[in-house]
Structure formats: structure tokens, C-alpha cells
Structure 1
Amino acid sequence: MNEEDFILPDGVDARALPKVLLHDHLDGGLRPSTIVELAADVDFELPETDPELLAKWFRESADSGSLTSYLSTFSVTVGVMQTVQALRRIAREAVVDLAADGVVYAELRWAPEQHLSRGLTLDEAVDAVEQGIAQGIDDIESRGGWIRVQQLLCAMRQGHRSDEIAELTVTRYDSHLVPGGVCGFDLAGPEAGFPPSAHAEAFDYCAEEFVPVTVHAGEAAGLDSIESALLDAGALRLGHGIRIADDIELHDEDDEGTFAQLGELAEWVKNRRVALEIAPTSNLQTGAAPSLAAHPFNLLYELGFTVTVNTDNRLMSSTTASLELARLANEFDYDLDDLEQFQFAACEAAFLPVEDRERLADRIADGFDAVRQPDEARR
């Protein structure tokens, strides 16, 4: 990453903007140096032991054009995340790294079922991550900063523990207002062949207990995946969700430009303001979009869909929330008002009480106003 990569078309450094991050995987955001140290502690074999070369290996391995291949890199990160000490450290460092990038609210998602190979229980794993997040928040506050971070618990769609993880989420949901507490449930993993409908009991239980749900859908699989996430899972947000563009037909009209015709599913997602947790760089790596210029993000934004900007996996994509904003702004000529709207959309979709969302929105507005003031002073 170079300094100029963070600069917006108007010269503003994107890192100065307050950001809300709804889709960031804990096991996809480790520091390469931390992986090397943790691997040495547990004698875990790595493809590279130099942090810079390891970071390059993750990035190149993830640039596969396939979601399945992209996900295979997680065997390394998950492999070193099997102890209380490791989970606590990784969660703390994630908070510190996000705050350094200007993130003011984040939901870190991860799958506890994947972190039990060295004897941890599900509750012990969740406790460790909660403690690490709280430590990270304390670190930031001790330096005069501010950030809020919660956990989203994932069940793996190719596994058979979704009912158990849903029960864990419901049990831990009472802590959703505690720093690092659990704020919702997610279904992650390879989409094709593993529809949300196969985990209907887990989703029904979350609905009965009023626990909010987001689902990975509409990335590697198409409209059926999105429909199942909405109807079978009761998802309030869609993880990625960019294949909703498959339900939009564009028609050229001689005198009036291009006309967009939305199908029933696209109309529902738009009109119900179902938030799309879009991660542009990750979408390019998995082949969900052929290029940034051809990515449906701008089309969906212009048509009034609720689009949010996310990192997905900062390590695999060699990215940050600020870089994602800068790339979009430079590609589609977005100004500060556009970037602020993305944060407001994410804020409104956050799994927080409405009063907390309102306070977060005020913080976002104040932060953007502070960035705008130098421009106004020059006028």
C-alpha cells in the first residue's frame, strides 16, 4: 500500500473519514507477523515464514477467481487461532488496526466451530474474542481515540453445527451492548450447494429469540441464494449480495438514456432497504465481478439500493476500509457526500439499538464535517 492509494479525487485522505464496517472476518484480518509468531508457538507449518512473503502468498493465493480457492487460504489463519491467547491477541490487534484506519464501528465475524481443535469450548472461544476486543478498545481509548466493535457469530454452511451456533448466539446475545459482545448470527462458507434453506431450524430459532441475522448470499451463487437468505433465513442484510444485479434489466431508450427494469426480488431488496454488505476487492478476487469498472456497486447505488462498503478479509485482499473507499471514489468519481452516504447506510443497518445508531450517525456526520471544513475555509 502506498500513501497515494488512500487519496480521494478531491485530495482528501480516506483514512481521515469515520467509517462503519459491517463485513470483516476476524480470521481474514490477521497481521502476517502475528501469524508467524503464533505458528512458531504451536509448531504450525506455514507456506512462508517471512511476514512480507507470507502477506504476498495470501494475496496471490486469494487472487484465484474462485470463492472455493479463496476460502482455502483460511486453513492457515484458522490453524493459528486455536488458543485463548491467540484469539485474544488477534481480536485486540484487529481493533487497533481498524481504529488506525478510521473505523468507528465494526462487526467482526468469525466461526467459533472452527477454533476448537486444541480443546477450547465454544464459550471459551467467544470469551477470548470478547476479551481481546475489549482490550483493543481500552488501548484506543487510552490514546484518546474511540471505536466500538461487536462480534457476529458464523455457522459454516458446509458443516452440521448451525443449530448449535444459533443456540450459542442466542445465549450470548444478552451481551450485545457490552464491548465485544455478540450482536448477531451469520451463515458463511461456500455458497454453491449449501443453501440457507438447509439451515432453516437455526434461522427459525434466531427469529423466535429476536436475534438479527445476516447471510452470505449472492456472491458465488445467484438469485436463488439471495431468495433463500431472505425467505428461509429472514436475513436483514446480505453478505455481498451483488448478484441481485442479475435481477435488473437495462434497456436503452433513444431519447431518455438507459432505463432499468427491476425484477420482483430486486424490487423487494431495494424497497425494504435490505443492506448489501459489498466488498469490492474481494469480489474481484473470487470472480464475482470481472473488474472494478464492471462491478455492479455503482449501478446499485444509482438505483437506490442500500449499499455499504466493506473489506471482507483485509489480509487476503491486502486492503482496508479506507482503500476500498478510495478505489470506489476514484473509479466512479464519488465525492464526500457519496462516501458519507455509504457510512450512514451501514450505520442504519448495524445490529445496534436505534438510539446507538443515531449517536453513531451523529459521530459520522461530525467527522465528515470536520474533513470538509478546510475546503470551506479556502472558499
Structure 2
Amino acid sequence: MTALDLSALRRAPKVLLHDHLDGGLRPETVLELARDCGYDGLPADTAPALATWFREAADSGSLERYLETFAHTVAVMQTPTGLERVARECAEDLADDGVVYAEVRFAPEQHLEEGLTLDQVVEQVLLGFRAGESAAETRGQRVRVGVLLTAMRHAARSREIAELAVRFRDRGVVGFDIAGAEAGNPPSRHLDAFEYMRNNNAHFTIHAGEAFGLPSIHEAIAFCGTDRLGHGVRITDDITIGDDGVPVLGSLANYVRDKRIPLELCPSSNVQTGAVDVLENHPFGLLAQLRFRVTVNTDNRLMSDTTMSREMLRLVETFGYGWTDLERYTINAMKSAFIPFDQRLQLIDEVIKPGFAVLVG
């Protein structure tokens, strides 16, 4: 059996469902794009210093403060070349880390300051991802990137973004999402968008249960009909540990588990935003033990200074997981992806299982 270290983890085939495009830029790219577009608001002028600033600023323990860091990355993603480059480099970086399938999300409405239309924004991002996939292929790597179009939950464009997602779903967009500060912005405010997605047989996920508790999760499921839960860590608010040490699930937790609703858990990010105090207390361990459909994700690779391999290593070091566990979480993610069943099954049978078999020996 291959030793379970970072080098080996990079060789393992991985599936990523929750990753923000504007949260994964290379620091040097942020600097270069800022110079190109005349943005002078960056807090540092070297790539190492900028990387450190993003990580430290995101370590505040507050979701609202965490979200403020995105002002700088979004500012340099307002031109066709900037959007294309960021998407291309994202695909290449994921391939370098052994990710074979990823769903990367971004909010088109945040990239209109230089006069681009919503359609043009999506077109440039898709162009970048295809270029990144091709570049990876020339290096003997395999990665497929699907796009999730995100609407900001504090804004009023969710129906428009849902229509955009459906319009581009045969060109690389695989679903829809809402994101932003949960408190005061319940998902039920966007029912029109979710109804539109359901009426068009289209997939969507909802950020819920990260900084806000069970009401957010309940609304996302009962009112909005979400396919997956973005984060969903607060589902543990509906799980109690009895005097005998046995977990007791409430009705909502039971429903989430029974319906196999995927949880897009992001360990490092959940600690940074204060959803969890320390990684040792992250509910991943409990939820995995109780056989919820848990998945491992990065959320924002720049802000968390992380990769999928590093996230998996942190779980291994914290909870003692082995290759078999990591394979299960990877298959969980692939089963939960927003691409057709036959394509999911093909990746599981022809890429993921054989890839882990080599590592397990």
C-alpha cells in the first residue's frame, strides 16, 4: 500500500464540487491583472506577501470579513482576457493537483463593471476552462470542469442568473447556486429562480448551514428543493449525543441522510469563517461516521492556501482516514455531480476506482 502523504494524495483521482473561481486565483496573476487593468487597491505588491495577506485576512473567524477579501480578486476579473486567464489557470491548477472532475462556481453579475454582458462573461470563463483542459491534456493530465452560475443572495438577479444557467447548460454550465452572507438573506427569497430551474429540469445547489443554522438548511430543502447543500455543517445542530454516547438524529438530519442529500463540506474554510472553531471539532468526522453523503472541497484555494490534496491530508491527520475512506468520499462526490448518470458512472469505474486501486496496492 502506498504511504498516505501529500505526494501520493496528489496522484489520487479527486472530485471537487465546491470551489469558487474568484477564490482560487494565483497571487502572481492577481498582481499582473491588477497592473493590466489599472487597479491600485491591492494590499501587497509581491506574490508571497499578497498570498499571506489573503490567508491572514480570511482567518478572522467571520464569514462577513472572509467575504471582503473577494473585492480584490473580483476587481481584476472584469475583462475578457482576465476572465479567460483566471479560468484557464484554475483548470490547470486543478489538473496539477490530480482533480479529474470539478464544478467551479462564480457570480456573473459581479463581472460587469467594464461593460461586459452576462453572456459574454460566461462565454469567456467557459473559453478559459476549455483552454485549461486542453493544456492539461497536452501534459498527460485529465480534468473536466463544469460551471455553476451563482447568484448573490443579497441581490435581486437570481431569476436572471438561473435563466443564464439554463441557456448555457449545453455549453459547459452544469447548474445554479446562490451565495453570500446567509444571515438576513434566506434562500426562500429566491424561490422564483429555483422554480425556474426545476421547471427546466436543471440542477442547483444552495449555500446553507455555513454561518447560519437549521432554518437556512430547512428552507433550502423544504421550500427551494435544493439538490445539494453548500457546506451544510450546521446540520449537526439537529444531532445530539445521548448519555450513552450514541448520536440521535432529529427529523431534519434524518431527512438529509435518508435522501442522500450531498454535503459540500470545506474543512479549512469552515474553520476560517467560524462555522467550526478548530478542525478537530469539524463535524466531518461525525457525519462520515453516520454515513451522511459527505464530500471534501476547497471552497477558496487562495484564501485558505489549500488544494484538494491538502484538504484530504488534513482530514487524514485529524481523523485517521485511510485510502478506502478517501475513495468513498471521492465516489460520494462523483455520484453527486451535476452531469449525466452515465458520465458519472464512467468516471467512477474507469478513472476513480482504478486510480485508488493503484495506490491501495
Structure 1, unmatched stretches of 5+, are: 1-6, 176-180, 374-379
2-structure distance, mates of 1:11, 1:109? 26
Aligned counterparts, 1:59-78, within 5 A: 59-78=55-74
| Residue equivalent to 1:152 | 148
Q: Does 1:22 align with 2:17?
A: yes
Alignment partner, residue 178 of structure 2:
187
Aligned positions of 1:44-59 closer than 5 A: 44-45=39-40, 46-59=42-55
Q: TM-score w.r.t. structure 2 length? A: 0.97
1:365 aligns with 2:360: no
Give the equivalent residue in structure 1 for 2:296. 309
Q: Secondary structure at the match of 2:170?
A: helix
Distance in 1 separating the partners of 2:7 and 2:269:
24
Q: CA RMSD in A?
A: 1.2
Asked if residue 33 in structure 1 is aligned to residue 33 in structure 2, the reply is no
State the distance in 2 between where 1:12 and 1:95 align.
20
Distance in 1 (CA, whole Å) between partners of 2:147 and 2:6 is: 34
1:293 alignment partner, SS class: helix
Q: Deviations over 1:60-116 (max 9, x none)?
A: 000011000000000000000001100000000000000000100000100000000
> For the Cα contact (< 8 Å) 2:229–2:262, is it kept in 1?
yes
**Superposed displacement of residue 13, structure 1:** 2.3
The answer as to whether partners of 1:112 and 1:126 remain within 8 angstroms in 2 is yes
Of 88, 91, 94, 1:95 maps to 91
**SS of the counterpart of 1:173?**
coil
Query: 3-state SS of the aligned residue for 2:279?
Result: coil
CA deviations on 1:174-222 (whole Å, 9 max, x unpaired) are 22xxxxx100000101111000100010110001001101000000000
Once the two structures are superposed, residues 128-180 of structure 1 have per-residue CA deviations (whole angstroms, 9 ceiling, x without a partner) of 000000000110111222111010000000111111101111111122xxxxx
Match of residue 238, structure 2, among 226, 232, 247: 247
Q: Is the 1:23–1:109 contact (alpha carbons within 8 Å) kept by the matching residues of 2?
A: yes
Structure-2 separation of matches of 1:25 and 1:41: 23
Pair 1:290 & 2:267 matched: no
Equivalent pairs, count: 358
Q: For the Cα contact (< 8 Å) 1:108–1:151, is it kept in 2?
A: yes
Change (3 A) 1:12 1:316: closer
Which amino acid in 1 is paired with 2:15?
A: V
Say whether the 8 Å CA contact 1:213–1:233 is kept in structure 2.
Answer: no
Compared CA separation, residues 90 and 21, structure 1 to 2 (3 A): same
Query: CA contact under 8 A between 1:239 and 1:276: conserved in structure 2?
Result: yes
Give the SS at the match of 1:174: coil
User: Retained in 1: the 8 A contact 2:228–2:263?
Assistant: yes
Matched, 1:270 2:257: yes
Preserved contact between residue 218 and residue 225 of structure 1 (Cα < 8 Å): yes
- Name 1:164's counterpart in structure 2: 160
* Range 190-199 or range 7-16, more displaced: 7-16
Identity %: 53
Q: Provide the rounded CA distance (Å) in 2 between the counterparts of 1:49 and 1:274.
A: 43
**Cα distance between partner residues in 2 of 1:291 and 1:125:** 37
Residues 11, 91 of structure 1: alpha-carbon distance in 2 compared, 3 angstrom cutoff: closer
CA–CA separation in structure 1 for the residues paired with 2:73 and 2:7: 34
- Structure 2 matches for 1:202-213, cutoff 5 A? 202-213=193-204
SS at 1:249's partner residue? strand
1:153 maps to a residue whose letter is L
CA contact (8 A) 2:88 2:131 kept: yes
Deviations 1:228-279 (A, max 9, x none): 11122211100000000000010132xxxx2111111000100100000000
| Structure 2: 5+ residue stretches without partners | none
Structure 1 residues 95-114: aligned runs within 5 Å: 95-114=91-110
Q: Which amino acid aligns with 1:246?
A: D
Confirm or deny that 1:139 pairs with 2:135.
yes
CA 1:61–1:136: 2 relative to 1, 3 Å: same
Equivalent residue number for residue 235 of structure 1? 226
